[in-house]
Amino acid sequence: MELWLGEQRASAEHFTLGFVGHRALSAADAAALLRHPLVGLAQLEVEGGAAPVRARSAALEAEWTLDGARSQLAVRCADPAAGVQSLEALAAMLRPQTVTLADAGGAPCAPVPFMPVGLLFVRHLLDAQTPFQRIQVGEHPLFGRVLFLNGETQIASSDERAYTEGFVAGALRPGLRRAMVLGGGDCGVVRELLAQGVEKVLMIEIDEEVVRVCAEYFPDVVGETLSDPRATIRYGDAFAYLRDRGQRIDLIVYDLSDAPLTLGDYGPVLPLIKRALAPGGRVAMQCGSGMPEDRARLEVVLEGLRAEFGNCTTRDVDVPSFVQRPWVFAYADLLS
């Protein structure tokens, strides 16, 4: 297996990562990160100061040299696939400003800015700035083709259906004939709603370029959505559309690219969603990471749904290309 970081390539079996701009780590701090369940390096040799922290698992061996806000990780992978996922989880928790990659014994590449909610080992095929956001498409050694918006992983060709089918399966029940998708420019949710028998789907996407890019780079995700007469796409602000909408709808799917961080980020839109739902209607919302360190934030989000609708259920879905997993979806019904 080959790894990429920007234009740099390295063997996935033996390489070195450099991290710059993270918080200063003690050996104990580093050991705690390496023991995290998503990293899984439980066999550790910990020494004081800047001496390397040595760790191993069945998948990989690592020697981590610490120097304040800089560090270097020398890696040997017996199982490159598992090793890649461990190291990407480690980087996501470490959150350095930049990362370098080098083959064992080779010179490192120029520092590459780290995408804190994305993936690490990516070779970019497209990097474009629209009036609304940065769109990137890359290739990943495990997850295939990946879409990023503002550095955040949106879909990967290897597991898009895990996200889409998991999200939609929790949203559907008898009687939901008309649906509105807020965001969702990759068209996967629209495709799945139509496949499950929803009669009409309206998608409100602010950035037309996302749809165009996905049609070009992810044709299997988009499917026949753009030509299906049951689907309508309108480009504009989803919240403005909700404010102006007259006709009520059975199902509203909140699939905007930024996972809500606090109730204050999206709380004002919940009354708009409630007002737009038909009696007995349902809202489905992607809520972001369900990792233990994110649970407090998640509970605030779920409490907002309970306060507005009087009910809320959740569904956890494992999406391997999302470093912070499981991913949590929430559902609430308009009961009166």
Residue carrying the six token digits 């912070």: 324
CA 47 vs. chain centroid, Å, equals 35
Residue 281 near residue 249, CB atoms below 8 Å: yes
Is it true that the peptide bond before 292 is cis, omega within 30 degrees of 0?
no
Strands 60-67 and 53-56: antiparallel
Residue 251 near residue 284, CB atoms below 8 Å: yes
- Residue 136, in any domain of the structure: no
φ, ψ (nearest 5 deg) of residue 288? 95, -160
- Rounded Cα distance between 33 and 22, Å, is 13
Instruction: Please tell me whether residues 12 and 93 are part of one structural domain.
Output: yes
Residue 73 CA: distances (Å) to CA of 31, 95, 195: 13, 14, 46
Task: Provide the pLDDT for residue 50.
Answer: 61
- Residue 26, in any domain of the structure: yes
- Rounded Cα distance between 280 and 333, Å, is 6
Residue 103 domain boundaries? 2-114
Instruction: Please tell me whether residues 180 and 103 are part of one structural domain.
Output: no
- Residue 234, in any domain of the structure: yes
The alpha-helical segments, DSSP class H, found in 4-73 are 27-35
- Active-site annotation, residues: 255
Cβ of 182: how many Cβ atoms within 10 Å?
24
- Residue 97, in any domain of the structure: yes
Instruction: Please tell me whether residues 46 and 187 are part of one structural domain.
Output: no
Query: Read out DSSP for 241-266?
Result: HHHH--S-EEEEEEE-SSPP-SHHHH
Residue 266 belongs to domain with CATH number: 3.40.50.150
Task: Provide the pLDDT for residue 41.
Answer: 86
Residues of the chain with pLDDT under 70: 47-50, 116-118, 258-267, 336
Residue 95 belongs to domain with CATH number: 3.60.90
Q: Which residues contact 84 (CB under 8 A, 6 or more apart)?
A: 1, 3, 12, 77, 121, 141, 142
- Residue 119, in any domain of the structure: no
Residue 277 near residue 249, CB atoms below 8 Å: yes
Task: Provide the pLDDT for residue 261.
Answer: 42
- Residue 214, in any domain of the structure: yes
**Which of 77, 99, 114 is the last residue before a domain boundary?**
114
- Residue 327, in any domain of the structure: yes
Paired with 156 in beta bridges are: 146
Instruction: Please tell me whether residues 77 and 223 are part of one structural domain.
Output: no
- Residue 184, in any domain of the structure: yes
Tokens for 147?
């879409």
Query: Read out DSSP for 182-247?
Result: EE-TT-HHHHHHHHTT-SEEEEEES-HHHHHHHHHH-HHHHTTGGG-TTEEEEES-HHHHHHH--S
Instruction: Please tell me whether residues 24 and 171 are part of one structural domain.
Output: no
**The total number of structural domains that make up the chain:** 2
